[in-house]
Amino acid sequence: MPITDQSTQTQIPCSNLRSKEMFHDASDTDEYSSGLYWCAVTQEPFGPDRQPVGKCECCSGRGCYLR
């Protein structure tokens, strides 16, 4: 279910989405600030469906999405 943030809607990214910011404490920066992502399943910048991964791409509409 999408989370509403005032006038914009943000979906919860797939739980297999990874970013280097997830592995260090950077409380003053955005969790996904580097813009570099990979899939925990494939260990590559594309998912099992061979499509690119990212904060906006890895959402509930994909067949490989895991909440």
Mind listing the pLDDT tens digit for each residue in 12-51?
999 999 998 787 766 655 555 678 999 999 999 999 999 9
Domain that holds residue 19: 12-67
Q: Does pTM surpass 0.85?
A: no
So what's the pLDDT on residue 10?
67
Domain count, the chain: 1
So what's the pLDDT on residue 23?
77
In a domain, 28, yes or no: yes
Residue 62: pLDDT band with limits 50, 70, 90: very high
In a domain, 62, yes or no: yes
Q: What is the DSSP string of 16-58?
A: TEEEGGGGS--TTS-TTTT--EEETTTSSSB-TTSPBP-TTTS
CA atoms within 13 Å, Cβ hemisphere of 32: 12
Residue 65 has pLDDT above 80, yes or no: yes
Burial (Cβ within 10 Å: 0-12, 13-18, ≥19) of residue 12: middle
